[in-house]
Amino acid sequence: MDKKPHILFLFSDTGGGHRSAAEAVIEAVHLRYGDSVTTEMVDIFKDYAPRPLNRMPDWYPYMVKAPDLWGASFRITDGRARARAITATIWPVAARYARRIINQHPSDLVVTVHPFGNSFILKALGNHRPPFITVVTDMVTTHALWFDNRADIICVPTETARQRAIEYSMSPEKVVVVGQPIAAKYCAPVGDKSVLRRSLGWPEDKFTVVAVGGGEGMGPLAQTARAIGESGLDVSLVVVAGRNERLKERLESINWPIPIHIYGFTRQLPDFMRAADVLVTKAGPGTIAEALAAHLPLILYARLPGQEDGNVTFVRETETGVWAPTPQRVVATLRHWAENPAERQTVVEACSRAARPEAANEIARIIGNQLHLTRDTEIIA
């Protein structure tokens, strides 16, 4: 019996939705090709980096609490020459660990969804290597570490990211715009909002606002929620605090003057988005892509300097939402959209145009082409 092709996905839980992007592509691969391929995910930092770098996923939520410092480090290290200098400097240490990943996880194709999973792994693989695909998970402001011309294909979310790759000397024919990969559950038809709200136990007839702060409940979520609650607006508010239990408890202790539902970490976010009228969120790339798939207007209230700067620009230029970095501006936008439903509907239509729900499926198709697979799971000899 012929051995099934094996695909190795390299990621790390250091922000940017790297894990969710990898999981979305893996899901799409198996939906498209069934069990004719095998897949696995490896965390390049937690599983293989030397101490203390193996703690990077644990440190990330604390590191981004100093956003100005984070943004400065992004800008200082960005640039093709600087990226090469970084990889050359770190290579003597990284080589051992990169080779260990390759030796312990032999594969027929490598997919990386993390900027540190590119140059080090490609160099360790050498000339006689399996196909290598980079899936860039930053929408617009993409760091130079994402781009290594030795990769066979570089999948990017936007045309701006493609132009940035070309500016960093990537071969244009290798750089493909596919969109941001999101899970299939976010790509279901929008459906009837009132029916969804009824199933969730929310008021059916209220202008409904969902406010999120990412998996860790980051950003000024509490202040923003309080401002909405005290605004006098006739709205229903849903707050998703993620894994931030302290934030959830703090919000639950408040005597709210409006209908409110407060959640911790939840897997119902796809239904929440389809049931809502507006999403208030930080400018994370995955959340933006998920909202667009739900045709849900965005109010961005926070962004991480560096890689999320361009996400704000993207939302503005596509007219899929607004940048409102203070609670007062969030409330003003909500008031305007609630009082002018035709204007909000224009934004809904812009979201529909900008959405790329097939991104994960397109990446799966590209992977299948590299491995010479067909949709009926037959492997071509």
Query: How high is the mean pLDDT of the chain?
Result: 90
Residue 177 near residue 158, CB atoms below 8 Å? yes
- A 10 A CB-CB count for 205 gives 9
Q: For residue 1, tell me if it sits in a domain.
A: no
Look at residue 379 and tell me whether its pLDDT is greater than 90.
no
Rounded to an integer, the average pLDDT of 40-62 is 73
Residue 339 has pLDDT above 50, yes or no: yes
**362 and 329 fall within a common domain:** no
- Res 39: pLDDT: 97
User: Of how many residues is the chain composed?
Assistant: 381
One domain for residues 78 and 198:
no
Res. 3 pLDDT band, cuts 50 70 90: confident
Residue type, 366: I
- The reply to whether 209 and 149 lie within a common domain is no
Q: Where is pLDDT greater, at 60 or 361?
A: 361
pLDDT over 50 (residue 381): no
Q: Does residue 367 sit in the same domain as residue 343? A: no
What number is the average pLDDT over the span 243-261? 93
Q: Residues 6 or more apart from 274 whose CB is under 8 A from it? A: 188, 190, 191, 193, 196, 294, 296
Number of domains into which the chain is organized: 2
Residue 89 confidence (pLDDT) above 60: yes
Residues 322 and 213 occupy one common structural domain? yes
Q: Is 104 exposed, middle or buried (0-12, 13-18, 19+ CB in 10 A)?
A: exposed
Q: Which domain holds residue 238?
A: 188-354
Separation CA 206–CA 269 (nearest Å)? 19
Burial of 313 (0-12, 13-18, 19+ CB in 10 A): middle
Question: What contacts 56, CB < 8 A, 6 or more positions away?
Answer: 12, 14, 45, 46, 49
| 135 lies in the same domain as 279 | no
- Residue 126 near residue 155 (C-beta atoms within 8 A): no
Instruction: Report whether pLDDT(313) > 50.
Output: yes
Backbone angles phi, psi at 322, to 5 degrees: -135, 160
Residue 267 neighbours by CB under 8 Å, 6+ apart: none
Q: Is residue 14 very low, low, confident or very high in pLDDT (cuts 50, 70, 90)? A: confident
What per-residue confidence (pLDDT) applies to 377? 45
Residue 379 included in any domain: no
Give the pLDDT score at 88: 87
* Whole-number CA gyration radius for the chain: 21
pLDDT of residue 57: 58
User: Reduced to 3 states, what is the DSSP secondary structure of residue 23?
Assistant: helix
Mark whether 63 and 21 lie in a shared domain.
yes
Among residues 284, 280, 292, the alpha carbon closest in space to that of 354 is found at 292
- Give yes or no: residues 199 and 299 share one domain: yes
Q: What is the pLDDT of residue 70?
A: 65
What CATH number did the domain enclosing 148 receive? 3.40.50.2000
Burial state string for 64-75 with b = 16 or more CB within 10 A and e = fewer than 16: beebeebbeebe
pLDDT of 219: 57
What CA–CA distance (Å, rounded) separates 130 from 135?
16
pLDDT band for position 220 (cuts 50, 70, 90): confident
Sign of CA dihedral 94, 98, 101, 103: negative
Does 377 reside within a domain?
Answer: no
- How much is the pLDDT for 186? 96
Which alpha helices (DSSP H) does the chain contain, by range? Answer: 18-33, 56-63, 67-77, 80-104, 119-125, 159-167, 193-200, 221-229, 245-252, 269-275, 285-293, 309-317, 327-339, 341-354, 359-371
pLDDT band at 1, cuts 50/70/90? Answer: very low
pLDDT digits (tens, 9 = 90+) for 119-166: 999 999 998 999 999 999 999 999 999 999 999 999 999 999 999 999
Q: Are residues 144 and 202 in the same domain?
A: no
In a domain, 381, yes or no: no
Indicate whether 218 pLDDT > 70: no
In this predicted structure, the answer to whether residue 309 has a pLDDT above a threshold of 80 is yes
47 shares its domain with 71? yes
Mean pLDDT across 361-372: 96
Q: What is the pLDDT of residue 62?
A: 59
What type of residue sits at position 239?
V
CB 122, CB 95: distance < 8 Å: no
Residue 176 domain-assigned (yes or no): yes
Residue 217: the pLDDT is 45
Residues 80-87: what's their mean pLDDT?
84
Q: Model confidence over 97-124: pLDDT tens digits?
A: 999 999 999 999 999 999 988 999 999 9
Q: Tell me the CA distances in angstroms from 333 to 296, 297, 347, one per residue in order.
A: 14, 11, 12
**380 located within any domain:** no
Asked which of 63-67, 283-287, 309-313 is least confident by mean pLDDT, the reply is 63-67
In the predicted structure, residue 215 carries a pLDDT above the cut 60: no
214 and 329 inside one domain: yes
Question: Would you say residue 202 lies in a domain?
Answer: yes
378: in domain: no
Answer yes or no: do 172 and 199 share one domain. Answer: no
